[in-house]
């Protein structure tokens, strides 16, 4: 058996998330169908992590075992020829059988996009959360310093507990302005359910002046979801990059 690693991008708007679900359109479902058409066998795909309904990816990583003799370049071209328009394979490679897209990930980086115009752009409705109050990204960055390092992030987890532990390590968190668009990027060794979206919603309250900068540290220490800000909507969230090398310090930009 050969182990094939794919890096894929998708627009999550019309998907019910990554994971295959009966009678629902999912990214895993359409990808598995395309691989089966090419190889004649239904694969068992594993991704670096599950994305929720409406969430996008620019660098999701997937692996699957196959008896097919197709070269990686054939997988790249043939899958893109049959996949729907909202999913694309960016890279294909054969990797050692021991490689596992989920278990071997050392960190993942997400970007949350905010449309910060006074009036929402019709071209950003699928890809950014509209916040009409001008965001102070410097204040957001000062507040976000409290999140750096290893902490219990249960204040930023929806419906705690979802995992055995809510302790995670954030390597980098930063807000940047690009004209009328604000990015909130977070890189960590793992993420809890809705963690990035809650961080974005919490920092957004600081950015609009509705909460002081020191409040974010108080939220973290409270270990209580009700103390944090709102869960930002899913359509602004992108899985940007998955790192399989050693854990980063302060992560370099992918």
**Residue showing tokens 């691989």:** 35
Q: Decide if 159 is catalytic.
A: no
201: left (phi over 0), alpha (psi -120 to 50) or beta: alpha
Active-site residue identified among 52, 86, 152, 180 = 52
Distance between CA atoms of residues 190 and 167, nearest Å? 9
Phi first, then psi: give them for residue 81, nearest 5 degrees: -75, -20
Q: Taking Cα atoms as reference points, which of 173, 175, 169 lies closest to residue 188?
A: 169
Pairing status of strand 167-178 against strand 149-152: antiparallel
Phi first, then psi: give them for residue 16, nearest 5 degrees: -90, 50
> Which amino acids are annotated catalytic?
52
């Amino acid at each position: 058996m050969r182990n094939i690693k794919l890096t894929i991008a998708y627009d999550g708007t019309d998907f019910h998330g990554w994971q295959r679900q009966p009678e629902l359109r999912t990214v895993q479902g359409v990808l598995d169908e395309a691989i089966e058409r090419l190889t004649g066998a239904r694969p068992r795909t594993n991704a670096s992590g599950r994305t929720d309904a409406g969430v996008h990816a620019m660098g999701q990583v997937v692996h699957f075992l196959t008896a097919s003799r197709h070269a990686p370049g054939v997988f790249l071209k043939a899958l893109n020829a049959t996949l729907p328009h909202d999913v694309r394979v960016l890279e294909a490679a054969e990797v050692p059988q021991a490689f596992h897209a989920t278990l071997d990930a050392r960190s993942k980086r997400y970007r949350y996009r905010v449309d910060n115009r006074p009036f929402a752009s019709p071209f950003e409705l699928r890809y950014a959360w509209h916040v009409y109050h001008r965001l102070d990204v410097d204040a957001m960055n000062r507040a976000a310093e409290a999140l750096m390092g290893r902490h219990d992030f249960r204040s930023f987890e929806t419906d705690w507990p979802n995992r055995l532990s809510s302790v995670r390590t954030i390597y980098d968190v930063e807000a940047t302005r690009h004209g009328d668009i604000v990015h909130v990027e977070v890189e960590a060794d793992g993420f809890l359910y809705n963690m990035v979206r809650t961080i974005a919603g919490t920092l957004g309250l600081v950015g609009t002046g509705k909460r002081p900068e020191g409040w974010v540290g108080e939220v973290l220490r409270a270990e209580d979801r009700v103390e944090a800000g709102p869960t930002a909507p899913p359509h602004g969230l992108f899985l940007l990059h998955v790192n399989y090398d050693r854990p980063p310090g302060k992560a370099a930009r992918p």
